[in-house]
Amino acid sequence: MSAPSSRQRLTLATTLLLLTPPLLWAGNAVVGRMMQGVVPPITLNFLRWLIALVLLLPLAGWVLRPGARGLWPHWRRFALLGLLGVGCYNSLQYLALKTSTPINVTLVAASMPVWMLLVGRLLYGEPVSRRAALGAALSIAGVLVVLSRGEPAQLRALQFVPGDAWMLLATLLWSWYSWLLARPKPGEEPSHIKADWAAFLLAQVVMGVAWSGLFSAGEWLSLPPLPEGASHIQWGWPLLAALAYVAIGPSLLAYRCWGAGVTRMGPAMASFFSNLTPLFAALLSALLLGEPPRLYHAVGFVLIVGGILVSSRR
């Protein structure tokens, strides 16, 4: 009987583990905003995960070897996970940051539990309780406050900033990705790969890099021509530092800390920490981008978190 109680004890070390991912994810949104005009957004995602792939190879390169223990007998599953989690979600997030702010992007993403309820109901037949429906309504109200920029008159003729629409699509796709993780078909996901965080991530990243490269090629075909001597990528220390950060911090370090924190505390308690991402994004945006949070951001944050709290109560 000692295991469950120890799992619920929030120590300083566990707190630091669970605070690290939302801080790094908020930094990812801010850096993505800072890199607008420096590198095309989908190309930024491709370079980010290509570097992460190289860093993961020494940790879990065995998963790429031919044979029954590698990913190749299960390549269809990892191709889909890589498409949704690496190729689509992160590309759409960086694309959203072209026209939306890190605060808006992370607030829309904070409504993820609501869309998970919707996807679970539509695709997996999961029932939605009254409490969960009430929580979903509160969270959706919070998203509407953010999307309308706090002006109720705009709700009747709501006009999306393109970035907000891209982030909504990204959130829906991530919800589907999360359900795929939670509900693998029998024999579809080998336990020895799932048990190794680096191997499980690498199996997705390999496929995700392939998708991201394809999307990046399409992006370059659509870019307008530049004058002779100009370039769509501004190579230099700012870009190299940004690539190092997004490849190591939000990709590898955050993933590892989150997995360790969830193992210690369980997903329910850990989910409360993930909702700190918009708060960290607001603080970092004010410090680094000169984009202070507005009153409607606070209202939207309270509604979204309130909805999640109501949904998660037993």
- Pick from 48, 77, 65: which is nearest to 245 by CA? 48
Evaluate whether residue 227 is within a structural domain: no
What's the pLDDT tens digit per position in 31-51?
A: 999 998 899 999 999 999 999
Evaluate whether residue 8 is within a structural domain: no
Q: Is the dihedral of CA 274, 279, 285, 288 positive or negative?
A: negative
Domain count, the chain: 1
Q: Is the dihedral of CA 306, 110, 255, 287 positive or negative?
A: negative
CB 253 within 8 A of CB 20: yes
Neighbours of 298 (CB within 10 A): 15
Q: 0.85 exceeded by the pTM? A: no
What's the pLDDT tens digit per position in 128-144?
A: 777 777 777 777 777 67
Q: What percent of the chain has pLDDT over 70?
A: 85
Token pair belonging to 44: 């930024």
Evaluate whether residue 296 is within a structural domain: yes
Evaluate whether residue 31 is within a structural domain: yes
CA end-to-end span of the chain: 22
Axis-axis angle for helices 102-109, 295-312 (nearest 10): 20
For 301, the domain range is 14-222+232-312
CB 274 within 8 A of CB 17: no
Evaluate whether residue 1 is within a structural domain: no
The whole-number pLDDT of residue 244 equals: 96
Q: Which residue bears the tokens 């949904």?
A: 311
Evaluate whether residue 6 is within a structural domain: no
CB 132 within 8 A of CB 311: yes
